Amino acid sequence: MSLSEDAKTELLRIAKCSIEHEFREQEPLQVHSETFAPELRKPGACFVTLRIHDQLRGCIGSLQAKFSLVADVAGNAHGAAFADPRFAQLTWPEFKQLEVFIAVLTRPEPVTFTSENDLLRQLQPHVDGVILQDGLRQATLIPAAWNSIRSAEEFVKTLKMKAGLPQNYWSETIHFQRYQTETFS
């Protein structure tokens, strides 16, 4: 995956337009994918992260490509601004200070492992995003999460806690997938 600079610029523009549209029209932006370049019309999954003065202000994403990349960016930007349950809805004054980061995901691939230690040895810090799934519990951490985590062991413990599991949890039914991202702002 390698997006052109024009595509990255357009996706950042659409993310900001999607948020601004809510302020102006009180509804999500409707994206007509057919009007965009072919690389933006292809199915894609992304996370949109919002920051103000280097502080997280919202992050919403998709793990599977269900829509065109441009539509996924617009929807996730809107969600990060107005539907992230960790934060109040974004305000207009905050919008003017907003930094937008987009992480476009590769297709998640299963990780085959024989033990937790084997899993930990396979993880690539600052490269792999990881999805944990066990029964109805699921969580993910994107590669950027490695910036605040010191080791693969801490990464997996954080992932377990995010899924609502104890840090030392392990079972025969636990599954992991990994993906990479192309991130830009």
- Reported confidence tier of residue 103, pLDDT bands at 50, 70, 90: very high
What per-residue confidence (pLDDT) applies to 26?
Answer: 94
Calculate what percentage of the chain has a pLDDT beyond 90: 99
In the predicted structure, residue 1 carries a pLDDT above the cut 90: no
Ordered domains of the chain (ranges, CATH): 5-105 (3.30.700.20), 109-180 (3.30.1490.150)
- Look up residue 87 and give its two tokens: 């934060």
CA gap 182, 185 in Å, rounded: 10
